[in-house]
Amino acid sequence: MTKKNTNNECTLNQAMEMGLTEEEFKLICKKIGKTPNLTETGICSAMFSEHCSYKSSKKWLKTLPTSGDHVIQGPGENAGIIDIGDNQAIVFKIESHNHPSFIDPYQGAATGVGGILRDVFTMGARPIALMNVLRFGEIGNPLTNHLLTGVVKGIGGYGNCIGIPTVGGETNFNQSYNSNILVNAMAIGLVNKNKIFYSAASGIGNPVIYVGAKTGRDGIHGATMASAEFSDDTESQKPTVQVGDPFTGKLLLEACLELMKTDLILSIQDMGAAGLTSSSVEMASKGNVGIEIDLDKIPLREKNMSSYEIMLSESQERMLIILKKGAEDDAKTIFKKWDLDFAVIGKIISDKKIILKKENKAVCNLPLDFLVNDSPELSREYKIKKTSKILDNKTIIKTESIKSIIYKIIGNENFASKKWVYEQYDSSVMGDTISIGNKSDASIVKIHNSDKGKFKGKAVAISTDCNSKYIFNDPIEGGKITVAEAARNLVVSGAKPLAVTNNLNFGNPEKKEVMGQIVGSIKGIKEACEELYTPVVSGNVSLYNETNGKSILPTPVIGMVGVIDDIEKIILMNAKNDETLFIVGQDENKFDGFLQSSLYQEIFCDDFLGQVPPINLKKEKYLHDFIIKLNDNKIINSAHDISDGGLLPCIIEMLLLNKLGININLPPRIQTPNKKNLLFLHGWLFGEDQSRIIISTNKPDKLMEFSKSENIKIYCIGKTNNTGVVEIPKYDSICINECLNLYNNTIPNFFS
């Protein structure tokens, strides 16, 4: 930085400090025909960063299915939009705030929630639900507890205050996240189909408006920070963390929705990552126009901010709006009512450039096509690595009693109830919450005022999923299972799956194996989304989740949204007394199970390397359609997907709430206890074979009739009773109260 330069030209060193590579800097100089100044370089660097350009993943993301009859907007806008009928649409997206949350758990998580909410309401939607997917290091570790406590308070701090219910998600623990936690926040909004707002700017001469909070030096270069690996000097990056203000966020939400009721807005976008830079560049380039901004007009919180700082600040709660000419005064009145800053900061121009002025001097003049279209797309080397290890169940199975095994599974931090976490979120504000993922496999929110007379209304169901162990062992199959399971969770809640948002969290893509995890899981996700008719309509990529060379487990999170066309069709997961439990997707000829990669293996072998349970997507889809049919015929009383932990833990989860018992009907082949049968029994009870669902019913005959005519395997587990004991005849019996105790107290015990 010491080298003196004339005309404020940026040196290669300075460019590299901002995160550009030498080739990228040379390309920039060549393409714009000059050496850029600091501000211009900063803008290029932000636009070329992994966070804004998706340069490592773009090539592969393009392969995902993104269209469908019900897709109104796929990837490329602030959020995806799907049609749910009755002139209404659902807007949703998931986004990560991993690095900021590690540095400052409260603010990092809070601003993550704030940012994803703005992505949704900028499209005209009122947010109706929040979800979050969290990954932490080992539980009990003081750092984990500190991070978890802070992140949970941050998520609640923003969501509770702004008054959008947080209705579900997942919190998991694994030592691979010790120094790289994941905080992925998802927002879901509801909009009238004819009142959707997009970001493409239009109309030469139209005013460019800045609204919301003032600009400070918060988070300068956050986008580049999110694109760089952590090292031990991360502490020194602390000043770049943004501070969220949910109160201003609430005012901005209400003011924007009020302005959107008029027809004054042409386009609107949130100032998210890379702040004013990416919002202005994207709005203008999407609209095929140019933009001119007078930086002296930007409402500033601090004195003497440079043009570079203003353009790259990531201060929160700000929006950029293109208004119709002459609409400024009417718009201003609304923002004044809500005590928010409002400034006309520039105009749309025909020349496809971004031109910035400060103190009457041009400080930036860059061609837009170049910034957007010429941002690098890399073909990084990759190697899709599948675990070569093949394990026999014999090597996995422990000699412990079934009872002691089930208690350990239920008391495992990745299985036990996360009530300690979700009770800190306001889940019932807005009055439409039906399930927060504790009463059913999916989170369910009623569509406000959708009821009419006798019709009780419609609902949106949301699920999130990611089984990192599967993806680590086999990226392609693991990717498929993640999508299939998200869909299954919706189906067993009574919903029809519609579309997906994904958050691809991985380590350093410059490593072949990590890139292989990215490519492989995208291939799997693609295949499953095609087969299950759930296109990917929005998403986010978070790479370089790695510290001192150690990478996180691959975590491509799937957020799936479905619709329940009549809330009377909602299926809950808790069985009642005197109902018959059936496995759908399996029959009496199956008397063992797939234990590799299972929670059982992870807990008892302290390792999860192995093959992944096979999945047949056609069979999976057929199963979903069957369940939907059963539900339409009112055969299902409750239902639960068989996933983590296998059959027995899932049966127990269905019995917990009403403290029921059951006599488990074992397959004939393993009814006699002996050494060999015990091995099979462990597999049968704890194997994680795919495409299976447990249902409870009072109409077993009807179920059998349907299964015969549809050619679907079913297996009768037994009838629920109120003994509070799960009997595995001749082998063991399990006490539900003990299970309940472990289920509820495991997590709190780590925090008392």
Pick the closer one to another protein by CB: 18 or 167.
167
Of the candidates 210, 207, 155, the residue with the CA atom closest to the CA atom of residue 183: 155
Alpha carbon distances (Å) from 8 to 42, 363, 387: 13, 10, 53
Among 35, 160, 316, 414, binds another protein (CB under 8 A): 160
Alpha carbon distances (Å) from 549 to 18, 180, 508: 22, 12, 8
User: Is 640 one of the annotated active-site residues of the chain?
Assistant: no
Phi/psi of residue 208, each to 5°?
Answer: -100, 125
Q: Are 80 and 74 in contact (CB under 8 A)?
A: yes
Pick the closer one to another protein by CB: 446 or 692.
446
Q: Are 722 and 396 in contact (CB under 8 A)?
A: no
Pick the closer one to another protein by CB: 27 or 162.
162
Which two three-digit tokens encode residue 457? 């209304």
> Which of 97, 99, 221, 624 does the annotation list as catalytic?
97
Is there binding between residue 749 and another protein (CB under 8 A)?
no
Q: Which residue's structure tokens are 């194997």?
A: 687
- Only one of the segments 233-241, 308-316, 420-428, 543-551 lies at the binding site for another protein (rule: CB under 8 A); that segment is 420-428
Q: Contacts with another protein in 87-146 (CB under 8 A)?
A: none
Return the CA Rg of the chain.
Answer: 27
Pick the closer one to another protein by CB: 213 or 405.
213
Among 339, 359, 606, 701, binds another protein (CB under 8 A): 339
The span from the CA of 281 to the CA of 375, in Å, is: 12
Q: Are 727 and 671 in contact (CB under 8 A)?
A: no
Q: How far is the CB of 153 from another protein (least distance, A)?
A: 8
Q: How far is the CB of 423 from another protein (least distance, A)?
A: 5
Is there binding between residue 161 and another protein (CB under 8 A)?
yes
Q: How far is the CB of 249 from another protein (least distance, A)?
A: 9
Q: Contacts with another protein in 250-309 (CB under 8 A)?
A: 250-251
Q: Distance between the two ends of the chain, CA-based, in angstroms? A: 50
Compute how many other C-beta atoms are within 10 angstroms of the C-beta atom of residue 566. 15
Q: Contacts with another protein in 552-571 (CB under 8 A)?
A: 567
The span from the CA of 679 to the CA of 166, in Å, is: 42
Is there binding between residue 453 and another protein (CB under 8 A)?
no
List of residues 6+ apart from 438 with CB closer than 8 A: 417, 419, 422
Pick the closer one to another protein by CB: 422 or 506.
422
The span from the CA of 264 to the CA of 325, in Å, is: 9
Q: How far is the CB of 263 from another protein (least distance, A)?
A: 24
Which two three-digit tokens encode residue 118? 């703005």
Q: Contacts with another protein in 430-449 (CB under 8 A)?
A: 430-432, 434, 446
Alpha carbon distances (Å) from 654 to 439, 581, 639, 659, 660: 9, 10, 8, 9, 9
Q: Are 356 and 275 in contact (CB under 8 A)?
A: no
The span from the CA of 131 to the CA of 15, in Å, is: 38
Of the candidates 551, 487, 485, 475, the residue with the CA atom closest to the CA atom of residue 516: 475
Pick the closer one to another protein by CB: 160 or 224.
160
Pick the closer one to another protein by CB: 80 or 169.
169
Among 424, 663, 665, 671, binds another protein (CB under 8 A): 424
Q: How far is the CB of 173 from another protein (least distance, A)?
A: 20
Pick the closer one to another protein by CB: 15 or 445.
445
The span from the CA of 362 to the CA of 344, in Å, is: 18
Is there binding between residue 376 and another protein (CB under 8 A)?
no
Among 426, 485, 579, 644, binds another protein (CB under 8 A): 426
User: What number of chain residues touch another protein (CB under 8 A)?
Assistant: 29
Q: How far is the CB of 402 from another protein (least distance, A)?
A: 33
Alpha carbon distances (Å) from 173 to 137, 149, 475: 5, 14, 20
The span from the CA of 563 to the CA of 16, in Å, is: 48
Alpha carbon distances (Å) from 405 to 597, 601, 664: 17, 11, 17
- Only one of the segments 158-166, 550-558, 664-672, 727-735 lies at the binding site for another protein (rule: CB under 8 A); that segment is 158-166
Is there binding between residue 425 and another protein (CB under 8 A)?
yes
Is there binding between residue 182 and another protein (CB under 8 A)?
no
Q: How far is the CB of 655 from another protein (least distance, A)?
A: 20
Pick the closer one to another protein by CB: 250 or 624.
250
- Per-residue x/- track, 235-254, another protein (CB under 8 A): ----------xxxx-xx---
Q: How far is the CB of 258 from another protein (least distance, A)?
A: 12
Pick the closer one to another protein by CB: 205 or 431.
431
Q: How far is the CB of 433 from another protein (least distance, A)?
A: 8
Q: Are 154 and 194 in contact (CB under 8 A)?
A: no
Give the 3-state secondary structure percentages of the chain, helix then strand then coil, rounded to 5.
40, 25, 35
Among 86, 423, 607, 632, binds another protein (CB under 8 A): 423
- Per-residue x/- track, 48-77, another protein (CB under 8 A): ------------------------------
Is there binding between residue 488 and another protein (CB under 8 A)?
no
Is there binding between residue 429 and another protein (CB under 8 A)?
yes
For the stretch 548-552, contacts whose Cβ atoms lie closer than 8 Å and that sit 24 or more positions apart, written own/partner, are 548/179, 548/230, 548/231, 548/232, 550/176, 550/179, 551/176, 551/506, 551/507, 551/508, 551/511, 551/514, 552/135, 552/176, 552/177, 552/180, 552/182, 552/505, 552/506, 552/507
- Only one of the segments 32-40, 159-167, 505-513, 714-722 lies at the binding site for another protein (rule: CB under 8 A); that segment is 159-167
The span from the CA of 320 to the CA of 659, in Å, is: 54
Compute how many other C-beta atoms are within 10 angstroms of the C-beta atom of residue 153. 16
Is there binding between residue 188 and another protein (CB under 8 A)?
no
Q: How far is the CB of 426 from another protein (least distance, A)?
A: 4
Pick the closer one to another protein by CB: 146 or 398.
146
Q: How far is the CB of 217 from another protein (least distance, A)?
A: 22
Is there binding between residue 428 and another protein (CB under 8 A)?
yes
User: Is 682 one of the annotated active-site residues of the chain?
Assistant: no
- Only one of the segments 103-111, 154-162, 225-233, 480-488 lies at the binding site for another protein (rule: CB under 8 A); that segment is 154-162
Q: How far is the CB of 749 from another protein (least distance, A)?
A: 15
Is there binding between residue 162 and another protein (CB under 8 A)?
yes
The span from the CA of 102 to the CA of 154, in Å, is: 12
Pick the closer one to another protein by CB: 101 or 248.
248
**Which residues bind to another protein, rule: CB under 8 A?**
153, 156, 160-163, 245-248, 250-251, 338-339, 423-432, 434, 446, 456-457, 567
User: Which residues participate in catalysis according to the annotation?
Assistant: 51, 97
